[in-house]
A and B are shown apart, each in its own frame.
Chain A
C-alpha cells in the first residue's frame, strides 16, 4: 500500500519560532510537493522538488524554505513563523513516469499537518 506520511497531524507554535514539517514517501517517487490548504483558496503550491537536492519555487514560496537530502524525505521549513502561516499543510509525491514530457502523473497525498501559529 503506497504511503505518504507527515511527521505531525497537529502543531502549535509561537510567532518567531523556526518550524520543521517533515514528509516521507515509500514509493521511490522522484517528485515531491508542499501545499498549503486554506478555506476558499483550495491548495496552493509552496515548493516542488524533482530530485534530491533540487527544488523549484511554487506560487507562494515567501516565508518558506525546503530541504531534500534523501529521495524519500522532503522538509518544509518556516524560518520565523508568523500568524498568517496558520494553515493546513499537505505533502504529496508523484513519479516522474515515462519521462519529463509525460503530462500526467498522479500525486499521492499525506494526511496533512494543521499548524497553528500563536
Chain B
C-alpha cells in the first residue's frame, strides 16, 4: 500500500540555519505530494504541494521538489526563524479518487534564538 517515511526528530536548529526534512514515499500511480505544518495548539494547515513529477512547491520560504526517480519530496528552507518551530508532516494523495491523504509520522522542528 501507499506509505510515507519522514526523518525522525526532533530537529533542533539555531535561527538562520538551513533546514532539510527528508521525506520518501511508496505509492502506486502518480500521487500528489504535500507538506502540512502544525503549530503548537493548532490543527494542520497546508504548507505547500506538488501535483506531478519535477514540480516545485513553495510557500513562506519553504520549498520541496517532487522527485519521481528517487520517490522523494524533501522540505527545505534557507534560513529558519523561531516562528517556524512546529511539527511538519509529509503526505501523499491516496484512494480511488485521490481525495484521501496518507501521512508520515511527523518531524518536530525546534528553532532556538
Contact = CB atoms under 8 A, between A and B. Distances in A.
A48 B106 CA distance: 21
B43 interface: yes
Interface stretch (A13-21, A61-69, A70-78, A95-103): A95-103
B42 A102 contact: no
B49 to A, nearest CB: 7
B101 interface: yes
A31 B99 contact: yes
Q: Is the interface of B mostly helix, strand, loop or mixed?
A: loop
A58 B102 CA distance: 10
Nearest to A104: B32
A24 interface: no
Please tell me the size bucket of the interface on A: 20 to 34
A103 B43 contact: no
B99 A42 contact: no
Interface string B78-93: 0000000000010001
B31 A4 contact: no
Given A31-B99, A42-B104, 7 more contacts: A43-B89, A43-B103, A48-B100, A50-B99, A103-B32, A103-B98, A107-B46
